[in-house]
Structure 1
Amino acid sequence: MLLMLLLFWLYGVRISYGQAGSPWNTEDNDYYYDQLEPENLLPKIVTKSQEFSAQPGEDISLPCVVDRGWHSLVWRRGGNILWVLQNSNGNFLLQTVEQDDRLGRNDTSLTIKGIEATDEGTYTCELSDTDPPRNVMHFLKVRVPPTVVPANGRKVMTIKMGSTANLGCNATGNPKPNITWSTEGRVLKVGKNLTIANAKPEDNGKYRCTASNGVGRPASTTITLEVMHPPVVRAQETEVYTGVGHEATLACFVYAEPRAQVQWYRKGGTPVDPIRLIRTVNNHKRYSLQFVRVHLEDLGDYTCNATNFMGNDSASVRLSARPKPVRYSSPHQGDMESNYTLVWDVESYVPVLSYEIAYRNDTDEEDHWITFSVPGTTSSSKYHSMSHTFTDLEPGSAYHVRVVARNEYGRGDVNESFAFTTLDAAGTDYPTYVQTSVEVSAEASNQLEDIVSEAEAGDVSQETQKTAAAASEALVNQTNPEDITRKEVSVAGQAVIHDDTSAANELSPKERKMQLMALVTAISLSSFF
């Protein structure tokens, strides 16, 4: 009985194994086969490689977006790991490797705060869940504004005249800056160095070195070039006009490197009196010698002398009381056919004794001048006005005239000749502004000048006023009221224009004469008050 049960059990086991299959049977299903995951089911980085640009101090984020589940992500720069991020079912664990507080993350992106120039380079985001690892690379370019400094730190370069100056600048920045040299707003060259061969005094100055790279504002620095040379002296005016009892200032400009010692001398090498005179110097290299009150013995020639170890130079200045060259104030086009009135003024601290006049027709030879003299004025003012009427001239002709003033201290310089043209006999039209000269007798003119001098002294008597009226009448008597449409009356060197056209048409000749006399008298007496 027992034997039959054992056989039955063994048979049943065999039958069950035959139906279910053997554990080693791989025909239908092999539970021990480890099948690989398909490619489209693995995590991947969907961000594309990019180039980023930033300036120092800015913040930046380098993206790295991952698709599907992942376990480990690494950011590195070159061969250096910055940080590692572990993902466990959505729980992130950040492990910082690079000890830099500026580094951080925004999800799976790398953030950098306060960009520095040294941060430039290639950054890689990498997944270690695949074989081989999948990654994306970004390039960060740090754009740095330019800086520039003089080569060797030399902001001042001193050389001798005739030597060669080599100026240089060192610039930094990203991209690499370009360097431009300029002076006084004038561009000289482009490049790191500037060479000035055979340096001259005029090469002295500031040379600007400017660096630019398109980032921020250009940077610049200056290098001062000092070319050592002997002094160069120039007089501000070769002749200074003054008068005894008046003030005067002589001045010269001194250019020297190194700075020169400047001294003023009288003619013959005698130093000027340092007590009575004032010597000054300003920032424009101007050295002056000031006379508060000129003495007669002060008149003469002076020398401004400058000396340094390279040499010396000097310039001469004359302190003079003679008249200045005359200035002409007449129109170039005359209003008469055969006459022309020339008006001029001159500066003289003492009365003008006489005027030397020379004139010639343009058709004559250049050396054919007609010369004569006229008396000067007795005005106490330093400004003197005078006029002279030329007669018997040729109609429609051009003339040249020269006038030279003379006082007790000498004769003034000859100014450039003055050109004028007489009216054409054919009646050619000229500008409507025509001045009719009032011919003044010497006696009446002198009386008026004496009256003005008395008025300036503050002493005007009734007799003086009568004299002024009489002198005015003398002036008027020499003027034909019928011809007056626009009058110019010269009183004490001042010209007064009076338009009387309408009145001339309404008043009788006698009334016009009286009106003109009243006008001149009023002008004369107005200077008293």
Structure 2
Amino acid sequence: MWMLSLCLVWIYGMRSSLGQVGSPWHTGAENDYYYEQLHPDDDLPVITTDEQQFAINLGELLVIPCPVHNLGDFTLVWRRGNQILWVLQDRGEGPFIQAVSRDPRINRNGTSLIINGVLPDDESIYTCEISTSPPRSVSHTLKVKVIVAVPPTVYPANNRTTMMIKMGGTAYLRCVVTGNPMPKVTWTKEGLAQPLGEGVNLTLTNARAEDNGIYTCTADNGAGDPVHASINLQVMHPPEVMADKIEVYSGVSYDATLACFVNATPRPQVKWYRENGSPVDPLRLKVAYDTRNKKHSLQFDRVQKGDFGYYTCNASNFMGNSSALVRLTGRPKPVRFSSPKLGDKDTRYTLVWEVESYSPVLAYNIAYRNETDSNEKWVNFTVPGTTSSSMYHSKEHTFTELEPGASYYVQISARNEFGSSDINETFAFTTVDPVGTDPPDDLLHEEEVIPNTDQYQDVVSEVGGVIESQAPPLPEVDIVTAQSPVISPTDNLTEMEEIFQEIFKGNEIPPAEKASVSDSTSETFSLTPREKRAQMVALVTAISLSSFFF
């Protein structure tokens, strides 16, 4: 049968070349009725679609229909004009198709013709024909529309470049676009990187203050550059007020600026008030507004003592009002520490700090405790303040009688005539750990044997808060009769102890009195071995110096 189909195609081609137009199944002979004799009308195939006209855009896909009922063993041919595109015959083991056209765009879907990507040359009459006698067929006409590219245009619907709604409402944004092909529309918001959506419409429900801004619709169809249109959405809401700084530090005769940020729609009315509710003096103080940052400020050229206190930045519109509290103060700023975390001594540590204060610092309140001892309580004391020609002050204090290798916490606040600074930092330091060994003798002589009387006048008692005015008194010794031994700096403490015992030989306290003294003073004047040695060395040194001058 397939040989017969090929022969029929060849015959049709020959007839076409001779200028004869018609069905490939028509021979012109008088016996063309034999198909009707072999196949009654009820058994013949039927094409179940009417002729149609198609107007297709250039480049689109087209399906030309030719549904057939009861094709049987008849052959179906698709042709464009007089050109055969393909031949189909249904066999018992499956359909057989003979593609005649070499155009890769030509395909089929059952008995329908497919053209993938229509071209201008595809304009023609397409015929679906079945090999009955006479042949049964249907013809369709194709018109190819050549697209003329038109650059896009876009503008807001109703030319509304500004839209205002109440907070909680719904905003309907819409752009009108034109162009050929139809442009693609994308929505964005100023300040946001991600697109909000596509299409000519954008809907925002339950609008909030954060939805305020410029919304832009962009249209692009590849014909020319993309075009844009913007809509300014204003969501009406009560003012939101936030202080730039809740506390501003200054001093008498210095300048100062209080500021607050206000966000409100519509634009609010902003006023400054004193803490008692009275308005600020508009003749002496300057009120300014920064449109870009929505920042309102109150400026003092020369602060007076009576200016210190609290101020209110109040904003109001017809949606509501709000305010923020700002304090103008002359007290010191928080203390900043500049000491290293690790000290260089085992029982002493020098703490250094600085503070910014427009007025002289009257005193520093210091509190410290041993961090390694959980039961240790804070020890509080006060040291004198500092005066400075500028607003920057520095001070140091040496802690004594600390535990070796221990960590301590310190808090300091500065006080001037306007109040005390906040404590916003707890400083921690650690003393040197001697690993259980005594410091060298030369260090002991240098730091412990010869006390500095000036130091005792400045150091405040860390336990009772009492200022010690002098060093502890030495025992009375007959410096005339006592012979002063010559002690080398390298002599050890044992030799000093022997000399001390020799000096006090014969002047010992009776056992009864010694017991009485011991009982009454053991709790108050209990000394460590190191302190006892220090006293011995101090005594011997004093005797040596006395013998030298007398």
Structure 1 pair 153–373 and aligned structure 2 pair: CA distance change class (3 A): same
Among 274, 277, 283, the alignment partner of 1:275 is: 283
Does the CA contact (< 8 Å) of 2:403 and 2:431 recur in 1? yes
Instruction: Give the 3 Å change call, closer, same or farther, for CA 125–196 of structure 1 in structure 2.
Output: closer
The one-letter code of the counterpart of 2:403 is E
Out of 422, 425, 438, the position equivalent to 1:413 is 422
From 207, 213, 217, the counterpart of 1:209: 217
Q: Tell me, what secondary structure is at the counterpart of 2:196?
A: strand
Q: Quote the residue 2:170 is aligned against.
A: 164
Runs of 5+ consecutive residues of structure 1 not aligned to the other structure: 1-37, 43-49, 54-120, 128-134, 428-440, 445-529
**Cα distance per residue 1:151-170 (max 9 Å; x no partner):** 33222111111112222233
The one of 409, 412, 415 aligned to 1:403? 412
Q: Distance in 1 between matches of 2:376 and 2:321?
A: 43
* Pairing 1:190–2:217 present: no
Q: Which amino acid aligns with 2:303?
A: V
Find the partner of 1:323 among 332, 337, 346. Answer: 332
Equivalent position amino acid for 1:247 in 2: D
Report percent identity of matched pairs: 55
Q: Which has the higher strand share?
A: 1
* Aligned match of 1:304: 313
Structure-2 change in CA distance of 1:290 and 1:124 (3 Å): same
Q: For the residues of structure 2 that align with 1:211 and 1:234, how far apart are their CA atoms?
A: 39
Distance 1:123 1:256, change over 3 A: same
Deviations 1:108-167 (A, max 9, x none): xxxxxxxxxxxxx9968999xxxxxxx998753334444332233222111111112222
| RMSD, aligned α-carbons | 3.5
Cα 1:242–1:368 change in 2 (3 A) is same
Q: Is the 8 A contact 2:58 2:120 kept in 1?
A: no
Q: Distance in 1 between matches of 2:152 and 2:172?
A: 22
List aligned pairs for 1:82-161, cutoff 5 A.
Answer: 140-161=146-167
Q: How do residues 67-82 of structure 1 correspond to structure 2 at under 5 angstroms?
A: none
- Whether contact under 8 Å (1:180, 1:187) holds in the other structure is no
Secondary structure of 1:202's counterpart equals helix
SS across alignment from 1:244: coil
Distance 2:385 2:203 in 1: 63
Contact 1:347 1:382 (8 Å CA) reproduced = yes
How far apart are 1:311 and its partner, in Å?
Answer: 1.1
Paired residue secondary structure (1:186): coil
Alignment partner of 2:169: what SS? coil
TM-score with structure 2 setting the length: 0.51
What pairs with 1:184-263 in structure 2 (closer than 5 Å)? 184-192=191-199, 193-263=201-271
| 1:387 is the counterpart of 2:393 | no
Q: If the length of structure 1 is used for normalisation, what is the TM-score?
A: 0.53
- Report if aligned partners of 1:350, 1:380 keep a CA contact under 8 Å in 2: no
Q: Distance in 2 between matches of 1:174 and 1:364?
A: 83
Q: Deviations over 1:297-341 (max 9, x none)?
A: 111111111111111111111111111111222233334333333
Q: 1:153 to 1:367 in 2, by over 3 A?
A: farther
- DSSP-derived class of the 2:253 partner: coil
Residue 10 of structure 2 corresponds to none
How much has 1:276 moved relative to structure 2?
Answer: 1.1
Q: Number of matched residues?
A: 314
Preserved CA contact (<8 Å) 1:233 1:255: yes
Contact 1:404 1:415 in 2 (8 A): no
Q: Note closer, same or farther for the CA distance 1:442–1:220 as it changes in structure 2 (3 Å cut).
A: farther
Whether the 8 Å CA contact 1:404–1:414 is kept in 2: the answer is: yes
1:1-50 Cα shifts (integer Å, max 9, x gaps): xxxxxxxxxxxxxxxxxxxxxxxxxxxxxxxxxxxxx95899xxxxxxx9
Q: Is the 1:122–1:137 contact (alpha carbons within 8 Å) kept by the matching residues of 2?
A: no
Query: Following TM superposition, by how much is the alpha carbon of 1:223 offset from its aligned partner in structure 2, in angstroms?
Result: 1.9
Equivalence for 1:289:
298
The question of whether the paired residues in 1 share the 8 Å contact of 2:58 and 2:119 is answered with no
Task: Give 5+ residue unaligned stretches, structure 2.
Answer: 1-15, 21-55, 60-117, 125-140, 437-451, 456-550
Partner of 1:148, secondary structure, is strand
